[in-house]
Amino acid sequence: MREESLAFVAVENVSKTYSDQDSSGGVQVLRDVSVEIAEGEFVCLMGPSGSGKSTLLTILGAMNHPSEGRLVIDGIDVYALSDERRADFRLQYLGFVFQQHHLMPYLNAIENVMLPLATLKLAGIEKRRRALDVLEKVGLGDKASRLPSQLSGGEQGRLAIARALVNDPPLLLADEPTGTLDTKTGDEIMKVFLDLNSLGQTIFMVSHNPANAALVHRVLHIRDGEFEATSDKKDARTVTRLSPAL
Amino acid sequence: MRISTIAFANLRRRKGKALFLASGISIGIGTAVALLSLSGSLREEIGSQLDRFGANIVVTPHSDSLALDYGGISVSGVSFDQHQLSNEDAAGILRIPYRKRLSVVAPKLLGTVEVAGRKTLIAGVDFASELRLKKWWRLNGRAPESATEVLLGYDIARAVSAIEALPGTSGAADQGTAHHSAAPDVFRVTRERVTVGGREHRIAGVIGQTGGPEDRMVFAQLGQVQDLLGRPGQLSVIEVSALCKDCPVEDMVAQIRKELPHANVSAIQQSVRARTEAVDRLTQFSMVVSVVVLAIGALMIFTTMMSAVVERTKEIGVLRAIGFRRTHIIKGLMIEVVIISAVGGVAGWFGGLVASRLALPYFTEAGAQIELRVSLAAFAIAVAMLTGIISSIYPVMRASRLDPSEAVRYV
């Protein structure tokens, strides 16, 4: 279902309530949240634990159905899609970088990168070519045959980014990608993100690190399921509207 | 990189668990294959015994008069029955729809004649058929080749002093007792001719002692006996041997009855029925044990797969997050299950065969063999895969339904 929208990503009045046996009404973790993200924008979401960051990220990741509101990406009402179509949507539109990387320990680097291509009807050689290209892009071209356990923390982070990029997704989602890394390695990962963004990659990142936030176009602050404020650190490329503040 | 690549990589990674599952299946399949092979071999052995037993269908005339006994079968009295069988009846049997399953049709005429002054049962037979039917006969000499030749039973031969034991043989020691069998190589034929029905006949051979009625009989060519008894073209009994392993004997009996409405047609099954029933029970027992063992194997697969799904929750969540459909998750897990089950099935089939070969001598006579049946191998592998798939359905479906947002946060 395609919708009219100015922004590439539009979160429209999204609320999320998790059922809870202890409270009859459940636990509301997001309250009427709206935000728009332009193509090519690098957005950082910050907030304390339990503020709703991860829930918003998984909703953006087309994995967590909102209780109210909708998510429109590239004109597609994501949660109007069936479960299987939404899986296809994730494959086509989204790249996900997890905090713990979640690499498959039994697959080598290039196999980990090829993982999202496993369900596609592409020739094996084409899958390998794509995976090698993206490994080169993150600086791991010479470590394609190594297992994740044979890579450093920074290299594992870059490998996770490579896996998220191999299907050439318009939107890259990252859940505290530097959260478990030392400063030097974290900086290394942030540089990869910034390089990608400079090439036009749209990125939405959850982070606790103010130093990372200082490098992005726009920072969203969330607390108790609501946006508190926004701070544009760089020139934003589109109009950003927050709710319910606005 | 395909879904199968992930499945194979997972199997390589979890070799121990995969081998554990495969061995569970192989034990179940092996037990089933061993028991079914054993019961199959026992059934084959019974079939062979039935063939050795000789005739399995006997055709006699309708009669109220039962005067003579032959082979444990009551035969109508030769002089008084109203409905005689004839040579045409023997030919009629060869016209039944199941005629291709007929192995031997052996017509014979029975009657009493004077042999060297004593009343004796004589059988006119077609020796070519008769010797195929009576495979346990061991002749000292040969079968009659002309109308003037006869074959004597062991007791008759002794009674008319046609044989004498060879010195130094057990036959010599057994002289005077009819309870021990005498092989044809422990006596020699000492008389060339004997008077049968008032006519001089040449003794072509003597049948080694069988312990059966033939020991007390004289055999001559059918036409000659019909002539001696004054009953040209008539028969007393027709013995039929059908290729009987799993053959529809009752159907054949019905067809012969239809062809020969004036005759009694009966199948000789009593002697093997008890053993057949025992094998049937063994087969049923085998099936029950196999099902139980397979059920235990299935339960093992179920619990292992359930724990594997829990163990791999995060991995499944990641795959779902990066765009794997539910069906892709199901496919990947099922490939693993099918490979494990197939390996278990092949190993079980092979192990079962080896086990049954080792166990066979304890259940059957020497010489019995376990056949390498492709159908059993295919059946074993198919059952193994089916067991694996059925017992994995719930865990796999559960894995496919994992909420990816929850699964990636699972620790």
**Is residue A195 over pLDDT 70?**
yes
- The vertex-A60 CA angle with A16 and A113, nearest 5°, equals 140
Which residues from chain B sit within 8 angstroms of residue A111, using beta carbons? Answer: 1, 5, 9
**Is residue B49 over pLDDT 70?**
no
B193-211 pLDDT tens trace: 999 988 899 999 999 988 8
CB A210 within 8 A of CB A13: no
CB nearest B1 (choices: A90, A91, A115): A115
**Is residue A60 over pLDDT 90?**
yes
CB distance from A49 to chain B under 8 Å?
A: no
Give me B297's structure tokens: 């194997």
**Is residue A148 over pLDDT 60?**
yes
**Is residue B48 over pLDDT 90?**
no
* Sequence-distant (≥ 6) Cβ neighbours of residue B27 within 8 angstroms: B293, B297, B348
Query: Taking Cα atoms as reference points, which of B306, B226, B222 lies closest to residue B21?
Result: B306
Q: To the nearest whole angstrom, how far is the Cα of B4 from the nearest Cα of chain A?
A: 9
Distances (CA, A) of A179 to A50, A54, A190, A215, B88: 16, 13, 11, 16, 102
Query: Taking Cα atoms as reference points, which of B121, B104, B123 lies closest to residue B226?
Result: B123
SS3 content of chain B, % helix, strand, coil (to 5): 55, 20, 25
* pLDDT recorded at residue B243: 65
CB nearest B3 (choices: A91, A96, A119): A119
| Distance between CA atoms of residues B250 and B303, nearest Å | 49
CB nearest A61 (choices: B10, B13, B321): B321
In chain A, the largest separation of any two C-alpha atoms, in whole Å, equals 55
Contact B325 A107 (CB under 8 A): no
* pLDDT recorded at residue B252: 82
Stretch A206-234: mean pLDDT:
85
* pLDDT recorded at residue B404: 84
B362-386 pLDDT tens trace: 877 656 666 777 888 898 899 999 9
Phi, psi of B144 (to 5 degrees): -60, 140
Contact A88 B314 (CB under 8 A): no
Contact A91 B409 (CB under 8 A): no
* pLDDT recorded at residue B275: 59
* pLDDT recorded at residue A6: 64
Task: Give the pLDDT band (50/70/90) at residue A26.
Answer: confident
* pLDDT recorded at residue B14: 86
More confident residue, B2 or A235: B2
* pLDDT recorded at residue B51: 58
CB atoms closer than 10 angstroms to residue B190? 12
Stretch B175-201: mean pLDDT:
73
Q: Which amino acid is at A25?
A: G
CB nearest B323 (choices: A114, A116, A127): A116
CB B106 within 8 A of CB B126: yes
Contact A102 B404 (CB under 8 A): no
* pLDDT recorded at residue B219: 95
Contact A87 B326 (CB under 8 A): yes
> Is residue A210 helix, strand or coil?
helix
Name the H helices within B57-166: 87-93, 127-133, 154-159
How many CA atoms, within 13 angstroms, populate the side-chain half-sphere of residue A145?
0
Q: Where are the beta strands (DSSP E) in B166-255?
A: 187-189, 193-196, 199-207, 217-221, 234-235, 237-242
Distances (CA, A) of B285 to B142, B281, B292: 48, 6, 11
ipTM topping 0.90: no
Q: How many angstroms separate the first and last alpha carbons of chain B? A: 27
CB nearest B324 (choices: A107, A119, A128): A119
* pLDDT recorded at residue A244: 34
Contact B323 A88 (CB under 8 A): yes
Mark which residues 74-133 of A lie under 8 Å from B by CB: 83-84, 87-88, 90-92, 94-96, 98, 102, 104-107, 111, 114-119, 124, 127-128, 131
CB B240 within 8 A of CB B106: yes
Q: Is the dihedral of CA A51, A53, A54, A56 positive or negative?
A: positive
B294-336 pLDDT tens trace: 888 888 888 888 888 888 888 888 999 999 999 999 999 999 9
Q: Which amino acid is at B298?
A: A
Query: Taking Cα atoms as reference points, which of A62, A63, A87 lies closest to residue A9?
Result: A62
Task: Give the pLDDT band (50/70/90) at residue B242.
Answer: confident
Counting one residue from chain A and one from chain B, the pairs whose CB atoms sit within 8 A come to 85
User: Bridge partners of B76?
Assistant: B66
Distances (CA, A) of A139 to A134, A144, A150, B131: 9, 10, 15, 90
Q: To the nearest whole angstrom, how far is the Cα of A116 from the nearest Cα of chain B?
A: 6
**Is residue A240 over pLDDT 50?**
no
* pLDDT recorded at residue A10: 95
More confident residue, B247 or A147: A147
Stretch A161-184: mean pLDDT:
89
* pLDDT recorded at residue A235: 46
The percent of residues above 90 in pLDDT, for chain B, comes to 25
CB nearest A63 (choices: B12, B314, B405): B405
Which residues from chain B sit within 8 angstroms of residue A96, using beta carbons? Answer: 321-322
Mark which residues 313-372 of B lie under 8 Å from A by CB: 314-315, 318-328
The percent of residues above 70 in pLDDT, for chain B, comes to 82
CB distance from B82 to chain A under 8 Å?
A: no
Stretch B8-19: mean pLDDT:
89
How many CA atoms, within 13 angstroms, populate the side-chain half-sphere of residue A218?
23
Which residues from chain B sit within 8 angstroms of residue A88, using beta carbons? Answer: 323, 325
Stretch B114-141: mean pLDDT:
88
More confident residue, B171 or B155: B155
DSSP type of residue A31: E
User: Bridge partners of A76?
Assistant: A2, A73
Query: Which of A29, A63, A114, A161 best probes binding to B when mutated, by most B CB atoms within 10 angstroms?
Result: A63
Chain A residue with minimal CA distance to B2? A118
| Distance between CA atoms of residues B254 and A116, nearest Å | 69
How many CA atoms, within 13 angstroms, populate the side-chain half-sphere of residue B330?
12
Query: Taking Cα atoms as reference points, which of B373, B304, B386, B306 lies closest to residue B345?
Result: B386
CB nearest B323 (choices: A64, A98, A119): A119
* pLDDT recorded at residue A216: 93
**Is residue A236 over pLDDT 50?**
no
Place of tokens 């490329």: A237
Stretch B35-57: mean pLDDT:
71
Q: Could you write out the DSSP letters of every residue in B351-371?
A: HHHHHHHHHGGGTS-TT----
DSSP type of residue A180: T
* Sequence-distant (≥ 6) Cβ neighbours of residue B371 within 8 angstroms: B37, B40, B41, B44
Domain formed by A41-62+80-232, architecture: 3-Layer(aba) Sandwich (3.40)
Lowest-confidence region among A106-120, B141-155, B278-292: B278-292
Helices B313-321 and B326-359: crossing angle in degrees, nearest 10, is: 140
CB B160 within 8 A of CB B193: no
Place of tokens 């726009």: A218
CB distance from B17 to chain A under 8 Å?
A: no
Which residues from chain A sit within 8 angstroms of residue B323, using beta carbons? Answer: 87-88, 90-92, 94, 116, 119, 167
Pairing mode, strands A42-46 and A218-223: parallel
Stretch B224-236: mean pLDDT:
91
Stretch B178-203: mean pLDDT:
78
Residue A164 CA to its chain's centroid (Å): 9
* pLDDT recorded at residue B132: 84
CB distance from A216 to chain B under 8 Å?
A: no
Q: To the nearest whole angstrom, how far is the Cα of B23 from the nearest Cα of chain A?
A: 23
* pLDDT recorded at residue B43: 72
Which residues from chain A sit within 8 angstroms of residue B321, using beta carbons? Answer: 61, 63, 90, 96, 98
Task: Give the pLDDT band (50/70/90) at residue B411.
Answer: very low
* Sequence-distant (≥ 6) Cβ neighbours of residue A87 within 8 angstroms: B320, B323, B324, B325, B326, B328
Q: To the nearest whole angstrom, how far is the Cα of A212 from the nearest Cα of chain B?
A: 23
**Is residue B179 over pLDDT 70?**
no
Lowest-confidence region among B218-227, B265-274, B294-303: B265-274
| Distance between CA atoms of residues B26 and B348, nearest Å | 4
| Distance between CA atoms of residues B56 and A37, nearest Å | 91
**Is residue B94 over pLDDT 60?**
yes
Alpha-carbon Rg for chain A, nearest whole angstrom, is 18
CB B60 within 8 A of CB B264: yes
Q: What does the mean pLDDT of chain B come to?
A: 82
Which residues from chain B sit within 8 angstroms of residue A128, using beta carbons? Answer: 1
| Distance between CA atoms of residues B247 and A39, nearest Å | 80
Contact B9 A107 (CB under 8 A): yes
**Is residue B410 over pLDDT 60?**
no
**Is residue B176 over pLDDT 50?**
no
Give me B5's structure tokens: 């690549």
* pLDDT recorded at residue B124: 94
